[in-house]
Amino acid sequence: MQSDPVLEVSALTFEYPGKRALTDVSFTLPHGAVLALVGPNGAGKTTLMRSIAGLDDPMSGSIMLDGVDVIFEPREAYRKLGYLSDFFGLYGALTVRQSLMHAAGMRALAQAEQIAAVKLTAERLGLTSRLDARTDTLSRGWRQRVAIGQAMVHAPQVLLLDEPAAGLDPEARIGLSILFRQLRAEGMTLIVSSHILAELDEYSSHMLAIKDGRAVEFRALEATAETGVTLRIGFAQAPADDPALRTLLGVHGMSAIHAASSPSADAGWALQGTFKGSAADQAMLLKALVGADLPVVEFAVVRENMHESYLRSMRQEAPAPVVGSAA
Ligand code: ATP
């Protein structure tokens, strides 16, 4: 993942007549990120996607897409992005091949490039055997695949997909997860809105949770040198000197320390926190804990799953303080 941003959304506010749908939404995505856009029905996900796609004009704020101002240069931005609406339409009289060629033509690909792009897109979405079928003869799931193909046939820098897995059978859903990981590895940035959190977990690098039009949480899901990892440490029983433990952990690179929500069977008491450092630094921390005669029974890097992140962000919970902390 390149670290320079491909998308910068700043203080975006959007109103429908008489209805505020987005308030002060800001986030930045690097190249090769996959953003899981989550939130309850009516939270503002579609409105945000449509604004980024340059289809709706926000009241205030800015959207920079690969250096292009989407609000003031929507046509220039259009070249760089692909968008699948949650409710899409296909021309029923066209075949799958014609539909993909049409989409490639709309994106101004040269004729020779169009043929190659359609072939590749059809392969990626498992559509090759149906290229000559009229789209009005296809089932909902196959039509969905054609619509995704139309959104990505021109290899956009940023691909916006509103509920892309809706209507797909389990095999096609797995295929889509694999495809998203491939696109990401090629440097494409994706924003995927879905209510199926377990699927988002498989390929997303970032999460933006929206509630009532506000961004309640935006974060990277994968550990980086900057973000650090979440470390979970379990003890046979709660340490007697909590401030001393906190100091020891802090000295060895741990911050944002809080009680773990559910200690495992072996640990009578556990904590979690952010650890910044190498594997050797982790080993040093473990050695220091054992050296201080603390009854460590668990020491592990954990990754919060999307479901946990979602529920926590919807409750807008702050991390709990360390149990028994004097701080
Ligand atoms: P869902 O998960 O149900 O698809 P969403 O998060 O995509 O929801 P949006 O469709 O962006 O939510 O809607 C955000 C808010 O804006 C909702 O309260 C919705 O009722 C309102 N809204 C959406 N479109 C319009 C419109 N054209 N006119 C007025 N209000 C609208």
Per-residue model confidence as pLDDT tens digits over 6-40: 999 999 999 999 999 999 999 999 999 999 999 99
Task: Give the pLDDT of residue 149.
Answer: 96
As a residue count, the chain comes to: 327
Residue nearest to atom 19 of ligand 1 (CA): 42
Probe target for ligand 1 pocket from 16, 38, 55, 88, with the most ligand atoms within 8 Å of CB: 16
Task: Give the pLDDT of residue 112.
Answer: 87
42 in any annotated domain: yes
Query: Are 197 and 254 in a shared domain?
Result: no
152 in any annotated domain: yes
What distance in angstroms lies between residue 42's CA and the mean position of ligand 1's atoms?
5
For the CA atoms of 26, 8, 319, 278, the dihedral, rounded to the nearest 10 degrees, stands at -170
Residue nearest to atom 31 of ligand 1 (CA): 16
Query: Are 116 and 17 in a shared domain?
Result: yes
Query: Which amino acid is it at 107?
Result: R
261 in any annotated domain: yes
Query: Are 257 and 188 in a shared domain?
Result: no
Measured in Å, how far apart are the chain's first and last C-alpha atoms?
Answer: 38
CA distance 325 to 323: 5
What distance in angstroms lies between residue 162's CA and the mean position of ligand 1's atoms?
13
207 in any annotated domain: yes
- What's 105's domain CATH number? 3.40.50.300
Domain count, the chain: 2
Q: DSSP for 261-323, please give it.
A: SS--SS-SEEEEEEE-S-HHHHHHHHHHHHHTT--EEEEEEE---HHHHHHHHHHTPPPPPPT
Report the sign of the C-alpha dihedral through residues 86, 48, 160, 73, in that order: positive
Task: Give the pLDDT of residue 261.
Answer: 67
Query: Are 234 and 210 in a shared domain?
Result: no
Using a 6 Å CB cutoff, which residues line ligand 1? 16, 19, 21, 39, 41-47, 86
Task: Give the pLDDT of residue 322.
Answer: 41
Average predicted confidence (pLDDT) for the chain: 89
322 in any annotated domain: no
Q: Supply the DSSP symbol for 248.
A: H
323 in any annotated domain: no
Task: Give the pLDDT of residue 111.
Answer: 86
174 in any annotated domain: yes
What distance in angstroms lies between residue 193's CA and the mean position of ligand 1's atoms?
13
320 in any annotated domain: no
pLDDT tens across the length of the chain (327 residues): 556 799 999 999 999 999 999 999 999 999 999 999 999 999 999 999 999 999 999 999 999 999 999 999 998 999 899 999 988 889 999 999 999 999 999 988 888 899 999 999 999 999 999 999 999 999 988 999 999 999 999 999 999 999 998 888 898 888 889 989 999 998 999 999 999 998 899 899 999 999 999 999 998 887 776 778 889 999 988 888 889 999 999 999 999 898 876 666 666 889 988 898 888 999 999 999 999 999 999 999 887 788 888 888 888 764 444 433 333
Query: Are 160 and 190 in a shared domain?
Result: yes
Query: Are 102 and 243 in a shared domain?
Result: no
Query: Are 108 and 167 in a shared domain?
Result: yes
Query: Are 167 and 293 in a shared domain?
Result: no
- What's 265's domain CATH number? 3.30.70.260
Query: Are 210 and 170 in a shared domain?
Result: yes
Query: Are 137 and 260 in a shared domain?
Result: no
Query: Are 132 and 20 in a shared domain?
Result: yes
| Domain coverage including residue 184 | 5-222+309-314
Query: Are 135 and 265 in a shared domain?
Result: no
